[in-house]
Chain A
């Protein structure tokens, strides 16, 4: 077991203190952590799932457009933040692990270390019809 970079640790700690749903991705797209507000949106609990591989998270949570077509991985804000190392935002539909479908806003930004290097991405979700 290796320790995460302090920047990721601090991002997780910040996310744990906020009411905004936040998912923390590693540099290869694996889900490292999601906070309690995100648990409600994603329909699963971090305590039960733990970290998720890219494939596993795709299997549990589907991201689609308004017509129900799958949003290609490369077009998702998380993938843009990781692949192009720039912030990205979009609107989409999310089918959570518990089957609930919601319209969401998604904003992602890359986590770049002080000394350089991509550590991951933080992704904020916002339910459009929610709060």
Chain B
């Protein structure tokens, strides 16, 4: 599978020269299978460019939403395939205890926030609730599981038989834990991330910033590294960069955490436009 980052920023889009290395678009990752399957992870502002890069003859695309916070759905209405009647778009995301996915999405995709109604989109739209057991799409077996973040939120584990990608962009597994990480079975997201070839994980804060953001649903870089070690991942990509951090600060924070934690795996900040082929070459 090929994994390409189209949006790596958390919370708020931050375009500009100060963020051009890691990118200013909010969460969006495109995953292409060897058979041409296209999975789009989250619909932040990066999804516009992801849609533009898809082949024109593509007839099916699946959008996997982790949750419905604005930075994960803001780009949805600007995803080109939604306006193509020949494309089947499958939209996967969590319902809430009181509202189905279409009702929740329609709060945004309706006036006055957006001119086009969800039900009026020209594509052939199919909505699915997650978590829902194993999902099979092309060569991918996908599992969605609820994770620790305010409101209904899931993470995804995608396996194509050769490699495993885990995507948990918004996640605070250390919340309330006396000593993080504790037992794997008592750690949010562990099963999703277990032995993953690539873990894309929330790392919004530095260790110093985290205590004043407790309960906001995000991780420190150190906690992301500890979580990756617990799950024995092969590679970790820091994701959901804080909008207040420019490129220099993202690099510095990541480098400091890695030097301090000395993980047994490689760890680096996600950068818009960057791709990973999984499994990684020798």
Contact = CB atoms under 8 A, between A and B. Distances in A.
B148 A114 contact: no
Contact of B176 (A4, A13, A114, A115): A13
Given A114-B97, A115-B131, A12 B146 contact: no
A3 B184 contact: yes
Contacts of B152: 114
Contacts of A13: 175-177
A111 to B, nearest CB: 13
Interface stretch (B25-33, B85-93, B185-193, B255-263): B185-193
A115 B129 contact: yes
Given A10-B148, A17-B176, A2 B185 contact: yes
Q: DSSP class of B's interface residues: helix, strand, loop or mixed?
A: loop
B184 to A, nearest CB: 7
Interface size, B (range): 20 to 34
A101 B202 CA distance: 48
A51 to B, nearest CB: 10
Interface string A80-91: 000000000000
A3 B176 contact: no
Nearest to A33: B186
A5 B190 contact: no
A14 interface: yes
Contacts of A3: 184-191
A16 B182 CA distance: 13
Contacts of B267: none
Contacts of A10: 148, 175-176, 188
B178 to A, nearest CB: 6
B66 interface: no
15 contacts: A2-B185, A3-B191, A5-B146, A9-B186, A10-B148, A10-B188, A12-B186, A13-B175, A16-B176, A16-B177, A113-B146, A114-B96, A114-B146, A114-B152, A115-B146
Interface of B: 94-97, 129, 131, 145-148, 152, 175-178, 184-191
